[in-house]
Chains A and B, each alone.
Chain A
Amino acid sequence: MRVLLLEDEAEIGQWITRGLTEAGHVVDHLADGAEALTAASSRDYDLIVLDRMTPTLDGLSVLRGIRAIGKTTPAMFLTALGAVEDRVEGLEVGADDYLAKPFAMSEFLARANALMRRAQMGDGQAELSVLTVGPLELDLIRRNCRRNGQAIELNTKEFNLLEIMMRNKGRVVTRTMLLEQIWNLNFDPMTNVVETHMSRLRAKIEKPFGDTLIRTLRGSGYVLDD
């Protein structure tokens, strides 16, 4: 995948470039807003990662310009401006995700991969009504879960948690992503909200069957293996 990165802090730019490159992507790293807008206008990218405060043209204006010429490339803001209002402003301009600095590379990669995957699936593609990962089957319409054909009773939160894990099978889903997508929380509660619910989910989908489906990556998040 080809990624356009606008980041004027050289060290952070190099760090993100290295992370994306190691994950198998090609990165065009630019430090100037106007140059980034020109680059985004002249070629197609799979993902655009923008810093908010950059020379000549800030990240918001760059994205506004990209959207104005009709480009729908997924875009993510990566910035120190992490207040809810800043996030809302970024999303209103047309960003698909917003990650506040400082962040872990695993968090960034998980979000970047999720955005690129969603774009690859295409808007016109019909949504799956049943998700299947290994022995697990999740019926999104009937709202029920089965493992090897055996019904498992899940409450709403557990169902949503499993749905996100199954939609991102084989990929890291971070704690922050789960807090945002399930509980709509844009801050990190210091207690183990995610861990508690994940533990309850595991007790239902793993414990009775004596094996492990969801792996915990300490400091990173969770992966549901395919």
Chain B
Amino acid sequence: MGLLVAGTLVLLGANGAVERQLDQMLMTRHALLAEDLRETPPEVIFPNSGKIQPRSANFEALVTDDGTIYGQLPTETEIVTGLQTILFKPRNEKIRNEHQYFWRAYSTRVEDGNLIVGTRADIYNEAVELLPLAFLISAGLIILVVLGGGLWFATRNQARLDRIHLALDRIAAGDLDSRINVTHPVDDLDDLSDRVDDTAERIALLMGYIRQSASGIAHDLKTPLTRLGIRVETLADAIDRGSDPTEDLAAVQRQISQMSQIFSLLLRIAEIERGSSHIRMQEVDLGALAEVVADIYQAVIEDEGGSLRLELDAPALVWGNEALLVQALSNLMENALRHGRNPESQRPVVTLSVVGSALCVRDSGPGIAPEHHDEALVPMKRLDDQVPGYGLGLALVNSVANLHRARLVLDWANCDRKCGLSVCLHFTSADGR
């Protein structure tokens, strides 16, 4: 419909334009002849006077005041001044197409009479008649291209949507490895596919955490629960025997406290993983944060015979939750204290640094080989069973990093000697850099 309305408007406009163009040409011819007549006698300019043949394309004539006609006139009807359309219908001739006998003429007075020039109107009509045909052909082609293109796009997009539906159906059915896998994203549908893949990745990761946590909790709580059972039995025996139960009671309390700590950490990770909507964010100065944590751990590390070095670059402001960042950084310091002792001296040498928008903790321990980096982030997964711990430290740091959209990078602290663990949180600075 829009195409028809637009076409009609274009045709009307084109019709008027052709008419105006033709009239302009007539007036120009008239002006040139009038100028010639001022210098040259009409006999010279119009050597063949008389009526023109109906098939002629143009005519020019001068009708003097005494009625003499120079040149050729298609009709004997009265010539009026200005632009006009004249019908010249030869007598005794069968006319098939009346349009062929219409002339467009222009006449004005010159010095000796009226000068008139004209041209066949059907030439103009033919040009105008061609326009609707051209329009129809163009419109037809456009409609064909649009329909063809639309059909191609619809089929292609339907296939892509089917792939998304299929992947979502599989994920919903429990196949968390199902992906759409767009190789070269070009449009919004590809972006949507990428987001579906990212979401599936995240769901798979969280489900992995849950599975790992569930089996980890079951496994890790078995030992303290067994110990607790033994302690309670010993306590009961001590009470029966009438001996002092203080030691056994303290041991029971320690076991309960350990289990409580595991649950607190798991709950904390779950709260962080739940998302950022309920966690308050504000501008946090990473340097000040590092100073606070260094202040907490300096004495502890020194008492262990080790050293803590604080390296601060330019001030770095990030958008975050200060309490969570302190807890994450404290976890890294705890890990450095437990796992980061120099294998020879058995002393922890720890560096806490802020470089740009990155917060890093480096230790002097054996480090973690790159192939175990992913494992180290899984809750309740412990890479070294010899050292006490719950396997939740780095998992919590990872959750805090995810919440802050920070990149958590594990590496060797000393790349040449392949030792020491370096854990860096790369933030986006508060001003978006």
Contacts and interface: CB of A to CB of B under 8 A. Distances in A.
Contacts of B264: 82, 100, 187-188
A189 B296 contact: yes
Interface string A179-207: 00001111111111100110110000000
Interface string B140-182: 0000000000000000000000000000000000000000000
Given A187-B327, A188-B261, A190-B334, A219 B300 contact: no
B300 A192 contact: yes
A140 B25 CA distance: 107
B296 A102 contact: no
Interface stretch (A11-19, A52-60, A83-91, A121-129): A83-91
Contacts of A142: none
A85 B271 CA distance: 10
Given A185-B330, A218-B250, A219-B253, A196 B303 contact: yes
A100 B330 CA distance: 20
Nearest to B303: A196
Nearest to B251: A219
By secondary structure, the B interface counts as: helix
Given A84-B323, A157-B295, A185-B326, A102 B260 contact: yes
B323 A191 contact: no
Interface residues of A, number: 26
Contact of A84 (B260, B295, B324, B334): B324
Interface residues of B, number: 31
Nearest to B326: A185
By secondary structure, the A interface counts as: loop
B409 interface: no
Interface in B333-365: 334, 337-338
Contact of A219 (B250, B297, B321, B389): B250
Contacts of B254: 219
A192 B304 CA distance: 11
Contacts of B205: none
A102 B258 CA distance: 12
A88 B280 CA distance: 10
B261 A190 contact: yes
B296 to A, nearest CB: 5
A187 B296 CA distance: 13
Contacts of A183: 292, 295-296
A84 B282 CA distance: 14
B299 interface: yes
Nearest to B302: A196
Contacts of A184: 292, 326
Interface in B278-297: 278-280, 292, 295-297
Contacts of A102: 256, 260
Interface in A147-191: 157, 183-191
B299 A189 contact: no
Nearest to B279: A85
Contacts of B389: 190
Contacts of A104: 253
Contacts of B295: 157, 183
A191 B335 CA distance: 10
B89 interface: no
A85 B250 contact: no
Contacts of B260: 102
B267 interface: yes
A63 B223 CA distance: 41
B267 A82 contact: yes
B268 interface: yes
B278 A200 contact: no
A184 B323 CA distance: 9
Given A185-B327, A187-B268, 19 more contacts: A82-B264, A83-B267, A84-B323, A85-B280, A157-B299, A183-B292, A184-B326, A186-B323, A187-B330, A188-B261, A189-B296, A189-B330, A190-B261, A191-B334, A191-B337, A191-B338, A193-B296, A196-B299, A196-B303
Interface of A: 82-85, 88, 100, 102, 104, 157, 183-193, 196-197, 199-200, 218-219
29 contacts: A82-B264, A82-B267, A83-B268, A83-B271, A84-B324, A85-B279, A100-B264, A104-B253, A183-B292, A183-B296, A184-B292, A184-B326, A186-B323, A187-B327, A188-B264, A189-B296, A189-B330, A189-B334, A190-B261, A190-B334, A191-B338, A192-B300, A193-B296, A196-B300, A197-B299, A199-B303, A218-B250, A219-B253, A219-B257
Interface of B: 250, 253-254, 256-257, 260-261, 264, 267-268, 271, 278-280, 292, 295-297, 299-300, 303, 321, 323-324, 326-327, 330, 334, 337-338, 389
